Structure 1
Amino acid sequence: MPQEDSSSSAAAAASQKQEQLKNGKLIVFSVAADHHNNDFTKAPTTLSSFASNMLGTGSVKKLVIKNFKDKPLPLENYTEETWQKLKEAVQAIQNSISVKYSLEELYQSVENLCSYNLSANLYKQLKQLCEHHLKAQIHQFREDSVDNGPFLKKMDKCWQNHSRQMSMIRNIFLFLDRTYAFQILTLSSIWDMGLELFKSYIICDQNVRSRTIDGILVLIAKERNGEMVDRCLIQRLVTMLSDLRIYQESFESKFLEETSRFYAAEGRKLVQKKEIPGCLYHIKKLLEGEVDRVRTYLCLNTQEQLITMLEKQLLGEHLSAVLQKGLSFLLDENRIEDLSLVYQVFSKIECGFQVLLQHWIEYIKKFGSSIVINPTKDKTMVQELLDFKDKIDFIIEASFLKNEKIIVAMKDAFETFINKRPNKPAELLAKYVDSKLRTGNKEATDEELEELLAKVVILFRFIHEKDVFEAFYKKDLAKRLLLDKSASVDAEKSMLCKLKQECGTAFTNKLQGMFKDMELSKDIMIQLKQYTKNQNIPGNIDLTVNILTMSFWPTYIPKEIQLPPDMERLQKNFKNFYLSRHSGRKLQWQSTLGRCVLRGEFKKGKKELQVTLFQTLVLLMFNEGNRFSLEEIKVATGVEDRELRRTLQSLACGRARVLIKSPKGRDVEDGDVFFCNEEFKHKLFKIKISEIQMKETIEERTITTQRVFQDRQYQIDAAIVRIMKIRKTLTHSVLLSELYNQLKFTLQPSDLKTRIESLIDRDYMERDKENPNEYKYIA
């Protein structure tokens, strides 16, 4: 390589500096030595001595020390010698022998060559050297006799050696990498160049790649079958595929395909052999194993696809089959942990949650229907429904993490099955509340009773026939209030408040009116006592009267009876007193609701008897005589035959027999004669003789049901008129649809048709003359 003339070079540099000064450029001073000749004697030792030498002429001079690029090119023999040195070092690294030169020396050599614009040639020579080495390595993998195990170890060793070698080579050629390879977009870094060469000459060989990937898959399959394998070997080989950027295209797809095939067979075996808990626990274990496998030696990007595929093969294809095998059993047995596992597994699978939700709904409907539809369970229906609801709520909280969709599905299922039997659940729910609010119910504390009532209201929420509940609840509430059988006024008002929150003020208006009547009656009794005292009205009978507003209370049929003179006089006095303060009102006595306290003297001692008004009339007759026939008692009291027989039966055939019937028997027949039981005895002083409670007859239930049905007619008529007034014209089908949306109780099309015809007859609406299926509102 020819040398430049130093004088001409200096002149050119001076010219360049002057040009820079003219252009206002900043000149940086630097000191450089002649690296080629290693001659530092001509360079000033310090910047100050250097400056004094330059300023000795008496004129100011600007000097720029030449950069490396301004140095003359080295001799050709230097370039060749330097490359040989580097080549020897690279080959020593590739052959795993010691390098004669230090890393600093080799690095400086690369820097020197690059400073003389030899980077491109140096990069090319290095690449050829690496390429030649890898070409020699491929032959060891083409031996067909090598088994998968040794083959993979040989591949791993080759890769590890190559990685180590390229790392060391890159350290030597780091200056070339930074100043040349990184600056040119079309070139790869030295490390990437090594990867590309390894990929091109080793892995891109079809036979080598197939055997490598198949070998890895064989090791994974062995591990899945419980064999011990070298996980570190797999991890290093998978890392190699990832570094070479062939992991996804060459390995991942095949790995997922093999995995899918393996777990498809595993899923079929699981469903056939194991029950649902064992099946799910095994699936959970397999999933955890695959997650661990991914984290140990696979790429994390594979995990999502792998788990999704596993869930599909292990469960996705068998969702209904798995749940049909054991979900009902788990729910019946309240297996919280197993149900929690079911929820966890099925929630992660595509469509799994929907399948679980469907089976959940079917189970609730089936179990609930078995309680509601079966008439033999009427006595225990409400309690069983409450227990079932508690159980379902606990499962939702403990196993299903209060999932909102599961809660909504549960509510819909309850609403469906509880209304499969019209009217009956509403009636039984009202009677259940009555049994819990009556005197004598000591099963629960106030807090427990409050909690129970809250649960009852939740069941009430699902019932469509709320008017039926109201009718029976009102009838039972009236008995509790009038007969003073309510266990707790606070509990009664709490229940009323809950119903008001659930259905609004209109629903509880009459019930609240009943409580108001009872409170006003107490005030009236205080006024009555003061009135009796002021008027000096004689009498030794204490009278208590409840004034009932007819529109609030159930309808009672008044019955005419013959009262003793003293009782008639008390009634007359009260009537005069009340009407003197409330003119224009009409009083109607309800004898069926009357109760009295009698004091009786028997041979065994005195007793205080709490009896009904009818029982009172019968017992008072025995003050006038000791023997009366059925016919005589009927004439004297005026009590209607069926009520009288029931009254006599309670006095002569019950537990407290203050009368004796002849002939003996459980039923009262024509011609029976009754005597006073002088030998009557009882351990208590105060004795309550309960009226023989006829089981709620079909007739009584029918009356209540008919009353509800009649009220519904008014509601249907009002809804039809309201809809037609707004819409003016509607077809029959649209009108029915609107009515189904507005009216909450169960409706039959025939009932609606009857009400529509009734409104047409009463000129509220009319049929269209051209289209009989269309109705018009008449303003």
Structure 2
Amino acid sequence: MDNTIYTESFQDKFLQTTEDFYRSKQFPAIDSNNKLLEYLKLVAEYFDYEINQAKVYLPEQKLTLTTLIVLLETIFFPTDIFNIIVGRLQLLVSDENKHQELAVLFEPIRQLTKLKNELLKLIETHVYQKAIESITDDLINNPLFYIETIVNIHGKYQKLIQETFVGDQHFVASFDKGYAKFVNQNPVSKTTGITMTLAEILARYCDTLLRKGSKAVKNDDWNEKLDNIIIIFSYLNDKDVFMKFYQKMLRKRLIDQLSVSESYEETLISEFKNKCGYEYTSKLEQMIKDIRLSEDLTNEYRTYQENTHENETRKIYSNNFLEENNFFSVVVLTSNSWLFSHPSDIILPIEFKTVYDNFTTFYLSKHSGRKLTLLHQYSKGELQINFTTKKYRLQVSTYQMLILLLFNQELIWTVEQIQDKTQIRSELLFEILLGLLKSKLLISDDPLTLNSRIKLAQNFISDKTRLNLNLPSKPNEQKDQSHLVKAAVDERQMVIQAALVRIMKKERTLKHSLLIQQVIQQLTSNFKPDISLIKKYIEILIEKEYFQRDSNDKDTLHYLA
């Protein structure tokens, strides 16, 4: 059918007749909720009738149907009436005691696209604003309370969607959009001024639950806590940043034997894998595997040590440096699965070097061709104080151990001499010495310089018999946090470029816009890629001659083998 003839002969007359018919009718005023409901029900009936008639008798005329809907909206929702209705809906949405009234009005509204779209916006805004208002400073500074508060917010508004809007998928999507905007807006503590990312807060929440001694989880509510984690994880945009924090905290739990349950660790990793795929969790799984293998390796080494190096072992025991058959445990880690910083060179004390050399000989006899690097910055040990009447045990880092063992030789050292004997870099040495001075185990009369004399506090006394001196400094923690975020963001460059090459290698030829769309689809499970970055790396790959623009269509790209 000729569209011009159809429009002039039928459509224009049909629409005019429809408009005249409804303009001539009388409609109830909307000065109360009951009247509003009556009006909306009547309008919904008219919409339903007209749309169904058009679909039956004009099935091929999509434009007529669209024009008809616009006409009906103009008739029944002129600007003044539309604003009154939206204002009424806004009041009902914001007053949570009136959501039952909203549920009644929703029945006709769900058939009225223009009003339904407006209500969707109101719900999205309401969820976001109410959630923001519920966050206080004390929550921001407590990952446990923060995550459980925002999980409760999720449950509350999810219930609203189910009960008020009968689980309508458009309203589920609107709720998800408002909630995702809220949780991914990094909260800022008003008291400290520190901005915390959701990725870090969620990782700390996981760490709190999975550490030994945590009172935050009991056997009977682990599944509930697991659900909390996965709910928030599902909304998290920066899953790659979260993984950096999670991997760092898992490293500490595993190396320091602080994990409350291997089963809990594996269950959570499995949930992450279900959400993001094998590659996302492969390093975590290797970390767990490394720890298991290391336990067996330590037991094998102890047997080897007893049978082969009995004299050295007895000598070490006699010096009270290490104790019993459990004096040494080792964790051998796969280098590409753990977040390490490269260790600086230090001079190991003879007490420790003997054990390290023995283990190296043992390990390389089993695994020829491998290389062992001592990660002393992650190692720790225990020392016993023998110069006091009361016996004390000290939990120390390797660096602290190096310094304290020097006092077996002399009771006074200058800072410069300590540095010469240990080769600990200057900045780190001063930080460690300040911590030991604060513990009162070492003393110095001077402000700390290279020439300062450090003395052993021979009259040392403490109420505790076991002292943990191996505590991280807050400035270093904050520096490490920013480093982890930067590392994740930097990795995105390679991930985006790899995705671009992978897609183009498969498709060979693709429109620029479709390439961007496919990259976003592939990467959204880990992070939300920035479109400007994708465009930037497309240009870089064109310059590197991975891609080429079509000579006749600049929007089409070809992959160059």
- Output aligned runs, 1:487-566, within 5 Å: 487-537=260-310, 538-539=312-313, 540=317, 541=322, 542-566=327-351
Q: Is the 8 A contact 1:373 1:420 kept in 2?
A: no
Mapped partners of 2:521, 2:138: distance in 1 = 30
Pairwise CA distance, 1:513: 0.4
Pairwise CA distance, 1:662: 2.7
Matched, 1:746 2:528: yes
Aligned pair partner of 1:658 in 425, 441, 451: 441
Q: Is the 8 A contact 2:106 2:165 kept in 1?
A: no
Matched, 1:767 2:530: no
Mapped partners of 1:706, 1:415: distance in 2 = 23
Aligned to 1:386: 151
662 and 436 in structure 1: CA distance in 2 versus 1, 3 angstrom threshold: farther
Mapped partners of 1:324, 1:588: distance in 2 = 64
Aligned to 1:720: 500
Pairwise CA distance, 1:670: 5.1
* TM-score (normalizing by structure 2): 0.75
Aligned to 1:472: 245
Q: Is the 8 A contact 1:604 1:680 kept in 2?
A: no
Mapped partners of 2:346, 2:429: distance in 1 = 11
Pairwise CA distance, 1:369: 5.9
Mapped partners of 1:428, 1:772: distance in 2 = 45
Mapped partners of 1:761, 1:595: distance in 2 = 50
Pairwise CA distance, 1:533: 2.0
Aligned to 1:736: 516
Mapped partners of 1:759, 1:440: distance in 2 = 51
Relative contact order (C-alpha < 8 Å, sep 6+): which is higher?
Answer: 2
387 and 638 in structure 1: CA distance in 2 versus 1, 3 angstrom threshold: farther
776 and 346 in structure 1: CA distance in 2 versus 1, 3 angstrom threshold: closer
Pairwise CA distance, 1:699: 4.6
Aligned to 1:322: 88
Q: Is the 8 A contact 1:647 1:691 kept in 2?
A: no
Pairwise CA distance, 1:774: 3.9
Mapped partners of 1:305, 1:716: distance in 2 = 53
Aligned to 2:120: 357
Q: Is the 8 A contact 1:647 1:692 kept in 2?
A: no
676 and 601 in structure 1: CA distance in 2 versus 1, 3 angstrom threshold: same
Q: Which amino acid aligns with 1:319?
A: I
Q: Which amino acid aligns with 1:725?
A: K
Mapped partners of 1:377, 1:543: distance in 2 = 40
Deviation string for 1:8-36 (max 9, x for gaps)?
xxxxxxxxxxxxxxxxxxxxxxxxxxxxx
Pairwise CA distance, 1:404: 4.5
Mapped partners of 2:477, 2:304: distance in 1 = 43
Aligned to 1:343: 103
Mapped partners of 1:674, 1:609: distance in 2 = 19
522 and 463 in structure 1: CA distance in 2 versus 1, 3 angstrom threshold: same
Matched, 1:632 2:417: yes
Matched, 1:645 2:418: no
Q: Which amino acid aligns with 1:390?
A: G
Mapped partners of 1:372, 1:758: distance in 2 = 42
Deviation string for 1:568-613 (max 9, x for gaps)?
1111111110000011111111010111011113545001111111
Mapped partners of 2:532, 2:43: distance in 1 = 59
- Output aligned runs, 1:109-258, within 5 Å: none
Aligned pair partner of 2:396 in 585, 589, 611: 611
Pairwise CA distance, 1:725: 2.3
Q: What secondary structure, in the 3-state scheme, does the structure 1 residue paired with 2:534 have?
A: helix
Mean Cα deviation higher: 721-730 or 362-371: 362-371
Deviation string for 1:28-77 (max 9, x for gaps)?
xxxxxxxxxxxxxxxxxxxxxxxxxxxxxxxxxxxxxxxxxxxxxxxxxx
Q: Is the 8 A contact 1:372 1:421 kept in 2?
A: no
Mean Cα deviation higher: 410-419 or 592-601: 410-419
Q: Is the 8 A contact 2:549 2:556 kept in 1?
A: yes
Mapped partners of 1:483, 1:492: distance in 2 = 15
Mapped partners of 2:86, 2:233: distance in 1 = 33
Matched, 1:570 2:333: no
774 and 698 in structure 1: CA distance in 2 versus 1, 3 angstrom threshold: farther
Q: Which amino acid aligns with 2:546?
A: Y
Aligned to 1:777: 559
Mapped partners of 1:377, 1:679: distance in 2 = 43
Mapped partners of 2:151, 2:457: distance in 1 = 47
Q: Which amino acid aligns with 1:658?
A: L
Mapped partners of 2:512, 2:118: distance in 1 = 39
376 and 732 in structure 1: CA distance in 2 versus 1, 3 angstrom threshold: farther
Deviation string for 1:712-741 (max 9, x for gaps)?
233222222222223323343343233223
Matched, 1:411 2:176: yes
Mapped partners of 1:634, 1:775: distance in 2 = 59
Q: Which runs of 5+ in 1 are unaligned?
A: 1-252, 271-279, 291-303
Mapped partners of 1:589, 1:522: distance in 2 = 17
732 and 696 in structure 1: CA distance in 2 versus 1, 3 angstrom threshold: farther
Aligned to 1:707: 487
Mapped partners of 2:135, 2:491: distance in 1 = 25
Pairwise CA distance, 1:567: 1.1
Pairwise CA distance, 1:347: 2.8
524 and 648 in structure 1: CA distance in 2 versus 1, 3 angstrom threshold: same
Pairwise CA distance, 1:517: 0.2
Q: Is the 8 A contact 2:547 2:558 kept in 1?
A: yes
Aligned length: 478
- Output aligned runs, 1:249-398, within 5 Å: 260-261=27-28, 264=29, 267-268=30-31, 270=32, 283=34, 318-325=84-91, 327-330=93-96, 335=97, 338-349=98-109, 351=112, 354-368=117-131, 377=140, 382-396=147-161
Aligned to 1:230: none
Q: Is the 8 A contact 1:439 1:485 kept in 2?
A: yes
Mapped partners of 1:392, 1:681: distance in 2 = 57
The RMSD of aligned alpha carbons is 3.6
Deviation string for 1:442-498 (max 9, x for gaps)?
133233343123212111111232211112211111111111222332322221121
Q: What secondary structure, in the 3-state scheme, does the structure 1 residue paired with 2:467 have?
A: strand
Q: Which amino acid aligns with 1:393?
A: Q
Mapped partners of 1:444, 1:699: distance in 2 = 30
Q: Is the 8 A contact 1:650 1:692 kept in 2?
A: no
Mapped partners of 1:375, 1:700: distance in 2 = 23
Identical aligned residues as a percent: 27
Which has more radius of gyration? 1
Pairwise CA distance, 1:770: 5.3
Q: Which runs of 5+ in 2 are unaligned?
A: 1-21, 47-75, 188-195
Aligned to 1:209: none
Q: Is the 8 A contact 1:371 1:377 kept in 2?
A: no
* TM-score (normalizing by structure 1): 0.55
Matched, 1:583 2:368: yes
Matched, 1:455 2:228: yes
